[in-house]
Structure 1
Amino acid sequence: MPLWRGLRDSPEERNRAVVVSVAKFYPGVELGKRPGAEKDAKRLHRNLSKLGFKVDLHSDLSGEEIYQLFSAESRRPVKDCFLAVLSSHGEEGCVFGADGEPVRLSRIFTFFDNECMEKKTKLFLIQACRGHHLDDGVEVDSAQEESDSSFSHYLSVPTDTAVMYATAPGYGAFMNFSGSVFLQTFCSLLEEEGHCELELTRLLTRLSHRVAYSFQAKGRLYDGKKEMPCLVTRLTREVFPFADSEEDSKAGKISATSLVSLRSVRARIASLS
């Protein structure tokens, strides 16, 4: 009998989160430092730990090390939910290891299409650029060709999995010294009353809404630019990964946008992640 089967009902079994954050690249790699990545990782660790997740942080791994890590993690037991965060520079369909090697997201996703992770909720948060376009807050045609050609890697997403990208195909994702817009906003929602009890897709809808309507970059290069997260889901049921079980029944009574505040639009001096 495989080891994971023997551990499945262990009292020590918990929901797990793995955060892979690349802030510094090897000498000679022509990718800039990402000074806000450590703040993202620390805040994620603090918030997810409070919610009962066992959180492992991994910094500045090479491309091959990232593959090896997720291959191993995909075969470890988990209670109900596995959450993965990949934060680095990127292009459509990949993020970069500290050695500058591309890590294909499709390969990462397929690791989790196995018996060990069957019927477990898998959530991937991808903080990385997906191209070089900048979002003016209106629909444009310039990214359409890239969007169409990039669809193939979505097919590798396993059942019962949601993948939330910081930005749309073809566009850049913003980060500054305070952290990334996407992951810092995700943490803010987890810290605010009422959000942890939401069904997962409702929570991620609020995340998209908050980033899209409450962030606006400033500075000479990026003044007025926006960011729009993108959700891909193959979930087959409603899941409440951040809620206490006794609160689950209350979550369906909360609408997807009723708690979203559109007070003042925040402006940040930003750089591309």
Structure 2
Amino acid sequence: MLQWRGQMDHSRECNRAVLVSVAQFDYGVDLNRRPGAKKDVKELHRTLSRLGFKVDIHNDLSADEIYELFHKESRRPVKDCFLAVLSSHGEEGCVFGADGKPVRLSRIFSYFDNESMEKKAKVFLVQACRGHALDPTVEVDSADDSTESSFLQYLSLPVDATVMYATAPGYAAFMHPHNGSVFLQTFCTLLQEEGFRNLELTRLMTRLSHRVAYTFQAKGRVLGGKKEMPCLVTRLTREVFPFAEPKKDRGSAGLSATSLVHNDNTRTRTHSIS
């Protein structure tokens, strides 16, 4: 099996991460502020920078500015891996710019189907709602998964790309106003813990799904007991180790499906929908 290992060196090109976060919407836009997004950006920048990524942060962009940004980023050089994080309010198939206009994810993904990004690993993390349903358990049964929007998103995803959504199609995602989103904060926590950053990407995402699904439970009168289940869509053709430490065992050999699941202490946090 072909492999990519994300190692930092002194060459001109490096692995890059672009963080697009919308926390404050324009005056007159009927979308709530997302104060927890700032916590996510801070933690992502700290975590990814330590792993050798060049991290660029873009806050409160309009829909057209987001399109323009990713069109340019898709043409810039990258060593092995390009990581994009989109954090905003959303619906199935889109996130919203600061101007309240939808940003179609299929269009963003399609930008990266070009020669500059050929044979590069492309990873997208999407922290946004994909609907208004609230998940009472971790066994999600979503009829929206076969919708035209979901199908178009998959078709637009280039080869050697993967998308990890905070939640399943049709469902809401959670964010704490002070502690950030359960999805992105858990992602950072895993990369900071010993051993996880050396996992192959799909195995790391399986760990992420497990931890979010089984250790998070919302509190409160309305949201109490509700869960969140991340959703992975991938067109990877090889194993990818974008966060692995140089010259160390990546832990990719000898892991079975059952070994990816381990017991964590269940935590409850007060979250709002984001």
TM-score, normalization by structure 1: 0.92
Measured against aligned partners, the alpha-carbon deviations of 1:151-200 in whole angstroms (never above 9, x if no partner) come to 22211000000100000000000001210000000000000000011000
- Structure 2 partner of 1:231: 232
Answering whether residue 218 of structure 2 is matched by residue 217 of structure 1, we say: yes
Gap change, CA 1:140 and 1:52, over 3 Å in 2: closer
Deviation at 1:250, TM superposition (A): 3.7
- Structure 1 partner of 2:90: 90
Deviation at 1:40, TM superposition (A): 0.2
Distance 1:98 1:132 in 2: 20
Letter in 1 for 2:118: E
Count how many residue pairs are aligned between Structure 1 and Structure 2: 263
Q: Identity of aligned pairs, percent?
A: 70
Distance 2:140 2:42 in 1: 36
- Structure 1 partner of 2:11: 11
1:148 to 146, 149, 174: 146
- Structure 2 partner of 1:3: none
Deviation at 1:220, TM superposition (A): 1.2
| Map 1:111-150 → 2, pairs under 5 A | 111-137=111-137, 139=139, 143-144=142-143, 146-149=144-147, 150=150
Distance 1:155 1:248 in 2: 35
- Structure 2 partner of 1:72: 72
Whether contact under 8 Å (1:206, 1:256) holds in the other structure is: no
Distance 1:212 1:225 in 2: 10
- Structure 1 partner of 2:160: 160
Distance 2:140 2:21 in 1: 31
Distance 1:139 1:81 in 2: 32
- Structure 1 partner of 2:34: 34
Whether contact under 8 Å (1:214, 1:262) holds in the other structure is: no
Deviation at 1:253, TM superposition (A): 3.5
Distance 1:43 1:169 in 2: 26
Distance 1:35 1:158 in 2: 33
Whether contact under 8 Å (1:160, 1:236) holds in the other structure is: yes
| Map 1:181-260 → 2, pairs under 5 A | 181-248=182-249, 250-255=251-256, 258=259
Distance 1:105 1:220 in 2: 33
Whether contact under 8 Å (1:198, 1:252) holds in the other structure is: no
Distance 1:202 1:123 in 2: 14
Whether contact under 8 Å (2:206, 2:260) holds in the other structure is: no
Whether contact under 8 Å (2:23, 2:35) holds in the other structure is: yes
- Gaps (5+ residues) in structure 1? 1-8
Distance 1:271 1:175 in 2: 5
Letter in 1 for 2:253: G
Q: Which moved more, 1:259-268 or 1:117-126?
A: 259-268
- Gaps (5+ residues) in structure 2? 1-8
Whether contact under 8 Å (2:138, 2:227) holds in the other structure is: no
Distance 2:113 2:119 in 1: 10
Gap change, CA 1:148 and 1:260, over 3 Å in 2: closer
- Structure 2 partner of 1:180: 181
- Structure 1 partner of 2:270: 269
Find the residue that maps to 2:83 and give its secondary structure: strand
Find the residue that maps to 2:130 and give its secondary structure: coil
